[in-house]
Amino acid sequence: MKFPVRIRIAIPELGLGLRFDEIHRWLRARLGHTGFAMTGGTMPGFDATFIYFPDVLSAYDFMATFPDLEYAAEADLPLN
């Protein structure tokens, strides 16, 4: 599997706005154009964007860079 680590980001009612561009710039700079994947989706109670990473370290780096985003509690990451 190319992108075994997935995180979910809640999308606010008004969207991510310019943060979406900032997120994409960071992902491309850190992982390259083909080093990650993004998809949209819904979860009970909110819309979400799913970001797929090649490894846990990249996902943690992303979350540390964007601590103000609302991450879904079901994120596929070991939090300890």
Give the residues across from 50 on adjacent strands: 8, 39
Which of 10-19, 31-40, 49-58, 61-70 is predicted with the least confidence, judged by mean pLDDT? 10-19
The model carries a pTM of 0.81
- pLDDT attached to residue 74: 53
Average pLDDT of the chain to the nearest whole number: 85
Tokens of residue 25, six digits: 């710039």
80 pLDDT higher than 50: no
Residues 59/77, Cβ–Cβ less than 8 Å: yes
Integer Cα distance of 1 and 44 in angstroms: 27
Confidence of residue 78 (pLDDT cuts 50, 70, 90): very low
pLDDT surpasses 80 at 23 = yes
